[in-house]
Amino acid sequence: MRAVTRRELIAGPAGKIECVIDEPEGRTSRGVALVAHPHPLFGGALDNKVAQTLARAFVELGYTAWRPNFRGVGASEGTHDEGRGEVEDLAAVLKHVGAEKPVLAGFSFGAAVQTKLAQLVKPERMALVGVAVKHLEALPVPADTILIHGEEDTTVLLTDVLAWAKPQDLPVVVVPGADHFFHRRLNILRAIIANNWKQG
């Protein structure tokens, strides 16, 4: 499915938030998917390949995907707040959009931030990739969360993610041979989400 893409600046708690919005072309959106990018202090931004892949996967499923830049990244105002203000930024995007039961998706730092946002809003469902469980406190997530990790991730170790998921009885989809950024395996990432999603 083709996407219509635009950029928008919205008001946030630390100033303007830069967002890229990908909408399914020629059909009514079935909802909003909010995609959070990796760590801002290590080059993370809304144009990160994994974040783009998550957005594309949800557009193909019929959602409108919102990808904000966290504070201090790109045209987003403010400064990095170690995951606290970033939750507020994501909440501000949802308030602007008027999404009551959004899909929450994220990669690495962004995935960990989404676990915090999920305590404040009722997500339709979550899709988390390479959750940075050691770099930021990651909170428990709903049982139907899609959790994807690379077998050869050296940034966030698979053993750490399994230890986080185990008390929640949360399955982890492991991509063999994949590193943290899923180089040459982004198509597999999209397929996992598509194959595990309720069609509508």
* Domain regions of the chain by residue span: 3-195
- The rounded distance, in Å, linking the Cα atoms of 126 and 114 is 8
pLDDT digits 0-9 by tens, 138-148? 999 999 999 99
This prediction's pTM: 0.97
Task: Compute the average pLDDT of residues 175-182.
Answer: 98
**pLDDT value at residue 185:** 97
* DSSP at 30: -
**pLDDT value at residue 135:** 86
**pLDDT value at residue 6:** 96
Residue-averaged pLDDT of the chain? 96
pLDDT digits 0-9 by tens, 103-116? 999 999 999 999 99
Q: Report helix, strand or coil for 196.
A: coil
* DSSP at 40: G
What angle (nearest 5°) sits at the alpha carbon of residue 67, between those of residues 92 and 126? 85
Pick the CATH number of 3-195 from 3.40.50.11740, 3.40.50.1820, 3.40.50.2000, 3.30.930.10: 3.40.50.1820
Q: Decide if pLDDT at 27 tops 70.
A: yes
**pLDDT value at residue 26:** 86
Place of tokens 């009551």: 100
